[in-house]
Amino acid sequence: MKLYSAPASPFVRKVAVLLHETGQIDDVEMVAAGGHPLASEQMPLAHNPLGKIPALEREDGPAIYDSAVICRFLGEAHGMYPEARLYEALTLEATADGICDAAILMIYETRCRAEDQRSAEWVEAQWEKVTRSLDAIEDRWMSHLAGPLDIGQIAVACALAYIDFRHGSRDWRAERPQLTAWFEAFSARPAMQATVPQG
């Protein structure tokens, strides 16, 4: 299998962390891809018409895409989607993915738009999505994060790491001591250490 990827993508990292945690990392070849909505020529358009990464090329079927679909495909047989708390894990994954979407849109506002077209208000509206989501995790989801490893934990860790990577000047840790402590411990896992974002 081939995973079209970029090392800075939190969605690619989510897949990579899952591969490490489930012992499948050597089964998937990482293929470099890159770009953004206004420059998608280096994206795997033949495998994902949306022009987004990650996309997973399989030997026995068409490519699949969106990190949530890929992670389900690769992780369901390895306990990453536990039946007893499936919808909790999926909701936490969706929350983390939404954090990443908003954080990436903040970057695109400066990378993809001319300076006179940028909106500081729009950027802050995206950041408000992030902070509301982090507050919800701190208030509602710490018991789940403290439980057995599943996709929800992986997704949250990759989202928090991406905020640090691209928006390090914004202090998401303030007033979120439980999430801060959990992330510090989770970041020490070998799968997280092996997938630190670059670029």
The CA-atom distances, in angstroms, between 94 and each of 44, 107, 172 are 24, 20, 19
Which amino acid is it at 166? R
Q: What is the mean pLDDT of residues 71-97?
A: 97
**Mean pLDDT lowest among 102-116, 140-154, 170-184:** 102-116
Q: What is the mean pLDDT of residues 30-58?
A: 79
Q: What is the mean pLDDT of residues 35-43?
A: 63
CATH classification number, 2-78, choose in 3.40.190.10, 3.40.710.10, 3.40.30.10, 3.40.630.30: 3.40.30.10
pTM of this prediction? 0.94
Least Cα distance to 157 among 184, 139, 178 occurs for 184
Cβ 3 vs Cβ 29: under 8 Å:
yes
Pairwise CA distance, residues 93 & 89, whole Å: 6
Q: Give the containing element (helix H, strand E) for 31.
A: strand 29-32
Q: Give residue 13's pLDDT.
A: 98
In the predicted structure, residue 35 carries a pLDDT above the cut 70: no
Sheet holding 29-32, edge to edge: 29-32, 2-5, 55-57, 64-65
Domain range summary for the chain, segments of one domain joined by +:
2-78, 83-190
CATH of domain 83-190: 1.20.1050.10
